[in-house]
Amino acid sequence: MTLKKNNPVDKVFYFALNYLRYILVITQIVVIVVFFIRFKTDQEIVDLTEVIDQKKEIVEISQPLIKEANQTELKLTQINNIILKQQNFIQGIDYVTSIFPEEIFLKKYGFDNKGQTSLEGYSLQPNIIRKFYQKLKQDGKYKKVTLEYVKKVDLKYEFIINLS
């Protein structure tokens, strides 16, 4: 048997036949895996853009409904405020008429938007006005009770009481 000397060309050829094919197969597997990952990622991007487009359409469609709901809520708030003011007015009238003395004559009963109530009247006796004023203060139904003025006109005493 003769021993052959391996020259460099034979070594390269031997390497190419034995090991390079494994490297090529591994490289092809990596390329295929990367291709599938890229395909999957692209499909996820397409799906997400479709979902975003759908949600944008939902938002655009629901905008008029949201505006209408806000307007309805504003109207309901205004209605509740009006009803509350009316209830306060009625309660105020009920309270004042329940403690109102027979000796006092009421000329004017006013109520403004700020919750201020004004009683304008007269009596023949000033102490009745004073008792009525003190009763309003003592009961504490109003935060502020002020006697604006009392003046004598002819035989009667005219007054204005402000309640808030």
- Same domain? For 20 and 76 the reply is yes
Tell me how far apart the alpha carbons of residues 130 and 38 are, in angstroms, rounded to a whole number: 93
The series of mean pLDDT values per 10 residues for the chain, 164 residues long, is 67 79 89 95 95 93 92 95 85 85 88 80 89 88 86 88 86
- Same domain? For 67 and 106 the reply is no
- Same domain? For 32 and 54 the reply is yes
- Same domain? For 5 and 81 the reply is yes
Query: Which uninterrupted H or E stretch holds 111?
Result: strand 104-111
Indicate the pairing of strand 104-111 with strand 117-123.
antiparallel
* pLDDT score of 4: 61
- Same domain? For 118 and 82 the reply is no
Angle at 145 between CA 144 and CA 151, to 5 degrees: 145
* Domain end position, chosen among 52, 70, 99: 99
* pLDDT score of 2: 52
* pLDDT score of 139: 86
- Same domain? For 86 and 44 the reply is yes
Structurally, the chain folds into a number of domains equal to 2
Identity of the residue numbered 6? N
* Domain end position, chosen among 99, 127, 144: 99
- Computed over its alpha carbons, how large is the radius of gyration of the chain? 47
- Same domain? For 13 and 85 the reply is yes
Domain enclosing residue 142, as ranges: 101-163
